[in-house]
Amino acid sequence: MSETTSSPKTAAVAVFDPFAGADPAVTALHAALRAEGVGAEVTSDPANAVAADGLVIAASVDAAEALRALHKAQADRVVGQRLAGSRPVLVVGAAMDALFERGADGAAGFGEWPGGVEKLDAPVERAEVAPAQGSLMLDGAQEFEFNAATGARNFELQEDEFIAYPKLSWAGEVLAAVENGPLWATRFHPEASGEAGAGVLRNWIAQLG
């Protein structure tokens, strides 16, 4: 009797779109994930976003505009439900600002991390990112596309002996990436960063199991 082996299951990734197709970062990330062999689908349905193996939330629009759209689409609740079950989430670009308690204009964020972001003295277009020690996201120091007018200059979460402190990667004085258990975030845009960005996506996909 012959034995058969089943092919590996393709990870199902939801690329959340609260912008009705108007943000090019959503489309570009969808294409980049599919190029890596992932079953990625764009959705604006919170239930689909909660149920997927992995969730990507991205924005390249103005950070305040992105935060309003994300709140309206219940993205804060989606992220909270996924993290409660330790399910992977990747947040990209201006959407990373939303994870803090407050945006640059003082509006309430998701509150996943304390503190807030601010308007930068000069926009960060492209910059080299110094990876955190032990980073699973970044393969050494590489340059990435940011196009960021806002960002975090510090990270106010206090260290606690009972939890693993997030891995923080910086582009100069600007927080570039955070690895916080199942929650990964990049202020830069992997989908616009060539092979360096593709490596970030592959490393995140590897966390999907």
Residue 111, by phi and psi: left (phi above 0), alpha (psi -120 to 50) or beta? left
The pLDDT value given to residue 9? 66
- Choose among 193, 208, 81: nearest CA to 136: 208
How do residues 75-118 score in pLDDT, each as one tens digit?
A: 999 999 999 999 999 999 999 999 999 999 999 999 999 999 99
Residue count of the chain: 209
Global pTM exceeds 0.75:
yes
How do residues 105-161 score in pLDDT, each as one tens digit?
A: 999 999 999 999 999 999 999 999 999 999 999 999 999 999 999 999 999 998 887
56 versus 11: the higher-pLDDT residue is 56
Give yes or no for residue 2 having a pLDDT over 70.
no
- Choose among 142, 72, 141, 76: nearest CA to 109: 76
The pLDDT value given to residue 23? 97
Domains in the chain: ranges and CATH:
12-206 (3.40.50.880)
The pLDDT value given to residue 61? 93
